Amino acid sequence: MGRLIGEMMNAGVLLDTGGVMQDGESFRMRRAGASVSLTDGPFTESKEVIGGFAVLQVQSKDEATAWTRRFLECAGDGLVELHEVSELS
C-alpha cells in the first residue's frame, strides 16, 4: 500500500488521504424543512464501515478506475465508492 501511495504522489494525482476513527465521536445531522436534528453515534445498526478516504485529481473516469483497481489489489476484498467532486471557483 505504501508503494502505491508513493506512486500516486509521484504521479501528482493524490491530493489527500486519511483514516476514519472507528471508535471516534460521530454524529449525523438531518434537515427536513425548517427542522434540523442531531443524532449522536456510534451507529451500531450500520453494516458498512468507512475506513478512510482518498482525494485524487485525475483527468478521466478511466484514470480514476485504474487507480482504484490498483488500490483494491493492495487492500483486498471490499467496496470503494467513487464520487466526483466539483471545484468552487
Q: Residue 76: pLDDT above 60? A: yes
Cβ 53 vs Cβ 68: under 8 Å? no
Tell me yes or no: is domain 2-75 CATH 3.30.70.1060: yes
Domain residue extents for the chain: 2-75
- Residue 9 CA, chain-centre distance (Å), reads 17
Look at residues 88, 87, 86, 81 and name the one whose alpha carbon lies nearest to residue 53: 81
- DSSP character string of 58-69: -SSHHHHHHHHH
Residue 2 has φ and ψ, to the nearest 5°, of -60, -40
> pLDDT digit string (tens) for 23-67?
667 778 889 899 999 888 766 655 656 678 899 999 999 999 999
Q: Which amino acid is at 46?
A: S
